[in-house]
Structure 1
């Protein structure tokens, strides 16, 4: 325990030093590397440090500065109240927006930490081979996961694969295609290193299924329908490991649907619960009223179980209620990152794109059935490809709302952002689909202009 405490102090210093690592030389890391990679225990603490940082960090922590919040605001599912959040809601994000800067720096801090782990394990290590493979696989996965969001939110970005400041401080922008190529390289590497056994008794560290789930999503976004279907199918086939529980059980810790979750920090429940659940007039984010009240089919159980309202003399607002606990020291919920329902929807879309309409309907009906809806096979068995794809996109909106910006990314990847948002967002421009890079980073690195 003393070794881990000492290590976490060193890692904390290293992470603080990389807040401006695009411009500033990080401290010499030899002492840190020697401490981190002297045995299995300390090396494991290094990768756990990344997950702790993610859970407590703005972009992944589920709070006001999270991808869940700002991407939801950028689409048509959330409404924001603070000045900084209003910029995302109106899609007029300034280069000096503090939330934007927090998101950008937070993601690159964790990229830096993943790079440091990969460099440390390859340079010198007292870590046993099985643990080394596990940690390397996780580091490759985490780096791919973060770059997936960076390139989808910002477009062209600096692709950092080293901790060497002489390289990172002047790294030019890489195209989305190049970033995706690296994402696939990292995920395929992780696929060869990880197994389906979770390294702990909980689902708070990624395993092979998490890699396959993210690969399915990446291939879907890249319009590689064959591989999207293949990898989603790999996860779905593990029926003894993952299943679709009742709606109110989905977001519990170690839920049967969970593929990867983040353990909350500070011995509390999720920041999503703390952010979304209203006990007073909202100051952060709420659901768009039209979505909450009329965005679901009749008899859909999801708005009953996953949406609540709050009223006072000033008005009535609606908020996500997927996480049921706003504040409690008894931890019953973990923050969901990857879950089985998304895999059914990925495979449904991939199958529809390949004109396997029966297979697509079967997958879509898995999600509709749990929600208490009439099945497509009974309601409209002769549905054509175009209408089936529309039904899948709608189902993604009603199933995955207020989770990791799925709706925002769906509108962009299907080229529907302008069609959907221009009528409801004053001043919308096609270029609003990407956030600007923070002004401070552009000023530090002339190659970002």
Structure 2
């Protein structure tokens, strides 16, 4: 056990030193000692566990950072701070290439990518780890890398796609065009699907399985408007006996549901940041609260409004806080950070079928989400554009403040500019963030800067 803790600490120190800057890494004497870390499956598992721990702590899919900023960047959260700051600039849609949040999101994702590459290289070179364990370790690391690249692509567009830890390559790497990035992710996820199993290796689903890779692959296909390929995958996930829609609104964010595809476990029963970051009571909010456009999108009888949002009245004015995760006393035994859940599969499948003009087939999937919230189901006939609007509305009400869903959903549907009605500073080029200035100064091959910055 001491050896495993040492390995985890060693990797954490390595990441902090070797990945402080985007892809510029220190010379090889600061890299993972692969002979030590990957000499047996126990230490290799520890290396992968360290990666999961870092992803849980800060990444595009966990840690409550990016989901907060993107929720404020779109129309889900209101920023109640009054002092100028980089986070307020994100809320006001006034970010620049020197914004620390723009840089930190980029740097954290590339840190995880670098670590994933290190694990894959070490596992591949190991002569003492069996092939079954090699496949699992490589597959899970490659999946984490793919997730990071997907979010980077959605936020920054054309990005570097490092597939090695070779510092000579990474110091001068060029950006790959956005379409090529998506093709690379597709290639990698197909490989992941061949490496990891459908069965979970832990009953709590804290490690991803093949279906997690397939869901991300469906998102890649949808980003490219390849509806038929996405449909095939989403139906496969939906029909898996592993999953079942959670019918009780109060249990959606509890760890035990069969609707969970993948979740990350907090350390030592700690409360999730998603539960604590937005909490306020008996006062006005001093950071973030739910925006009026989001509140107004709910019908009064919607169970999500009643159970996932809490009103707080102060000085005669009512504010609203997030209540999806509720444990705040660090005795958390039933709430893990849910990354992917079946409700997303249903709404994505409804969207895909609608794009394919299979309106009657799409309705049951969006209606399953509506009826669980005690809303009146949609009825046939309904035209394509109206149904797509209804699905996007359900996405908003179902996934608010979850891992940047709103931004990605609007972007995929070509409707980010609808934010103009509620975000006065929104510009056409805000579908991407700027490449951080720090990174361009380190590597001129990251030019040109994204349009508008």
Structure 1 distance, partners of 2:41, 2:25, is 31
**Retained in 2: the 8 A contact 1:14–1:27?**
no
Unaligned runs of 5+ in 1: none
Find the residue that maps to 2:20 and give its secondary structure: helix
For 1:203-282, what aligned pairs fall within 5 Å after superposition?
203-265=205-267, 267-279=269-281, 280-282=283-285
Deviations 1:181-235 (A, max 9, x none): 1111111000011111112232111101111211222212211111111111111
- Given candidates 157, 164, 172, the residue that maps to 2:174 is 172
Q: 1:336 to 1:240 in 2, by over 3 A?
A: closer
Structure 2 distance, partners of 1:434, 1:223, is 19
Q: Report the CA distance between 1:370 and its aligned residue.
A: 0.8
Structure 1, 71-80 or 30-39: larger mean CA deviation: 30-39
Deviations 1:236-291 (A, max 9, x none): 10244333231111111232211011112454021111112223542332110232
Find the residue that maps to 2:423 and give its secondary structure: coil
Q: Which residue of 2 aligns with 1:439?
A: 437
Deviations 1:379-406 (A, max 9, x none): x321122211111111111111111111
**Retained in 1: the 8 A contact 2:23–2:110?**
no
Structure 2 distance, partners of 1:39, 1:395, is 47
Structure 1 distance, partners of 2:209, 2:406, is 26
- The alignment covers a number of residue pairs equal to 442
Q: 1:249 to 1:154 in 2, by over 3 A?
A: same
Q: Report the CA distance between 1:25 and its aligned residue.
A: 2.2
Q: Which residue of 1 aligns with 2:396?
A: 397
Q: 1:431 to 1:53 in 2, by over 3 A?
A: same
Q: Report the CA distance between 1:103 and its aligned residue.
A: 1.1
Q: Which residue of 2 aligns with 1:430?
A: 428
**Retained in 1: the 8 A contact 2:290–2:322?**
yes
- Given candidates 192, 198, 201, the residue that maps to 1:199 is 201
Q: Which residue of 2 aligns with 1:284?
A: 287
Find the residue that maps to 2:216 and give its secondary structure: helix
Q: Which residue of 1 aligns with 2:303?
A: 301
Structure 1, 93-102 or 356-365: larger mean CA deviation: 93-102
Q: Which residue of 2 aligns with 1:3?
A: 3
Find the residue that maps to 1:422 and give its secondary structure: helix
For 1:21-420, what aligned pairs fall within 5 Å after superposition?
22-28=23-29, 32-57=33-58, 59-63=60-64, 66-82=65-81, 83-265=85-267, 267-279=269-281, 280-292=283-295, 294-313=296-315, 315-376=317-378, 380-418=379-417, 420=418
Q: 1:154 to 1:37 in 2, by over 3 A?
A: same
Length-normalised TM-score, structure 2: 0.93
Q: 1:58 to 1:317 in 2, by over 3 A?
A: farther
Find the residue that maps to 1:391 and give its secondary structure: helix
Structure 1 distance, partners of 2:178, 2:215, is 20
Q: 1:326 to 1:142 in 2, by over 3 A?
A: same
**Retained in 1: the 8 A contact 2:32–2:118?**
no
Q: 1:58 to 1:283 in 2, by over 3 A?
A: farther
Deviations 1:76-128 (A, max 9, x none): 11112442221111111122222222211111110001100111112224212
**Retained in 2: the 8 A contact 1:245–1:257?**
no
Q: 1:281 to 1:447 in 2, by over 3 A?
A: same
**Retained in 1: the 8 A contact 2:14–2:32?**
no
Structure 2 distance, partners of 1:123, 1:168, is 20
Aligned-residue CA RMSD (Å): 1.8
Q: Report the CA distance between 1:298 and its aligned residue.
A: 4.1
Q: Report the CA distance between 1:153 and its aligned residue.
A: 0.6
Structure 2 distance, partners of 1:206, 1:198, is 7
Length-normalised TM-score, structure 1: 0.94
Deviations 1:42-73 (A, max 9, x none): 1111111111001112544333xx22111111
**Retained in 2: the 8 A contact 1:11–1:32?**
no
